[in-house]
Structure 1
Amino acid sequence: MQNVRKIGFGGGCHWCTEAVFMVLKGVAKVEQGFIGPQGDIDNLSEAVIVHYNAEVIELKDLVAIHLDTHQSTQNHSMRHKYRSAVYYFMKEDEEFLKLIMNEFQKELSTPIITSILPFGQFKSSEEKFHNYYLSDIEKPFCKTHISPKIQLLKEKYAEHVATKVS
């Protein structure tokens, strides 16, 4: 696949975040685990690395989906584990991400708390948790926490959702 780029997203449980991006057209791979930002690499929180084809799905759409599928405007007691962030791998993405975030902020009355951070380190989660949602969508956690996010994608971002998603 040509023009494959990568971006990191954190905000909620990495099972949920992984599922959201795995069902999108143009996403080649999603790595589930923990990300630490550059300069603070020991401060890991649940996140995913999304490998995507920029000719099929744009970074702006991925960011919009990320903001819509986790609590991007709410601080809570678990933010140390579930940091709301976008992790960039290429320095030139930083300014573009700031512009995107400013555009999305104009549509909201509550401030977006999602940080834009340089990628520092990744630690994969245990393999038994990879592909958590798509391996058994009937699990109670999947039904209560992940399926509503997938339904939101089907309703709001239908043009980006792969047809194979049940």
Structure 2
Amino acid sequence: MTTLTAILGGGCFWCLEAVYLEMRGVTRVESGYMGGHQERPTYEQVCAGTTGHAEVVRVEFDPDQIGYRDILEVFFTIHDPTTPNRQGNDVGTQYRSAIFYETPEQEALARQVIAEMANVWDAPIVTELGPAVTWYKAEDYHQNYFAQHPEQGYCAFVVAPKVAKFRKMFAGRMK
């Protein structure tokens, strides 16, 4: 099986990871950091806002089951792409909306979907679009976080509603 990768930042990586783990055709999701200037940043350093990294997920998917466009359509539904450097109460450059493309085809499709989504949102889309650069996997305790801690406050009040929205709006794309 051939897999492709999408790298997305849409606020806290726990939210995106929890949703994509339930999406049909997704074979793997990892939380990590991208887009900064410091080598091997830690979660604490990224949260301090000094490394320039965004919290991102690396979504591996089977293109025979789900397309990059599908991944992006879910992305633009489960986070707010109109708020620079924030998602809800999470504020800082590490929470920016970002798409890191790996191929010219991904870049072109991302630009097309961003243009289409401009008609959906009431404010301008501020999603950063740039080439994928060095990926740093987040610490192990961040991986599959929502599944391991569904009752934790942040998970219950921030992550769970995004998962519920995905389940409601994209039931046909669930595993």
- Name the amino acid aligned to 2:5: K
Distance 1:105 1:3 in 2: 32
Question: Which residue of structure 2 lines up, in the alignment, with residue 137 of structure 1?
Answer: 150
State whether residues 8 and 49 of structure 1, in contact with CA within 8 Å, keep that contact through their aligned partners in structure 2: yes
The answer to whether structure 1 residue 49 and structure 2 residue 58 are counterparts is yes
Change (3 A) 1:129 1:3: same
Distance 1:53 1:44 in 2: 27
Change (3 A) 1:29 1:103: same
Cα distance per residue 1:2-46 (max 9 Å; x no partner): 23100100021111121111111111011111011xxx6543111
State whether residues 41 and 121 of structure 1, in contact with CA within 8 Å, keep that contact through their aligned partners in structure 2: no
Question: Which residue of structure 2 lines up, in the alignment, with residue 65 of structure 1?
Answer: 74
Question: Which residue of structure 2 lines up, in the alignment, with residue 13 of structure 1?
Answer: 12
Distance 2:126 2:70 in 1: 18
Question: Which residue of structure 1 lines up, in the alignment, with residue 123 of structure 2?
Answer: 110
Post-superposition offset of 1:109: 2.6
* Consecutive unaligned residues in structure 1, runs of 5 or more: none
The answer to whether structure 1 residue 96 and structure 2 residue 95 are counterparts is no
Post-superposition offset of 1:76: 4.7
* Consecutive unaligned residues in structure 2, runs of 5 or more: 39-51
The alignment yields a C-alpha RMSD, in angstroms, of 1.6
Question: Which residue of structure 1 lines up, in the alignment, with residue 23 of structure 2?
Answer: 24
Distance 1:123 1:6 in 2: 15
State whether residues 21 and 29 of structure 2, in contact with CA within 8 Å, keep that contact through their aligned partners in structure 1: yes
Distance 2:96 2:134 in 1: 14
Question: Which residue of structure 1 lines up, in the alignment, with residue 171 of structure 2?
Answer: 158
- Per the alignment, in what secondary structure is the counterpart of residue 6 of structure 1? strand
- Using structure 1 for the length normalisation, give the TM-score: 0.88
- Using structure 2 for the length normalisation, give the TM-score: 0.83
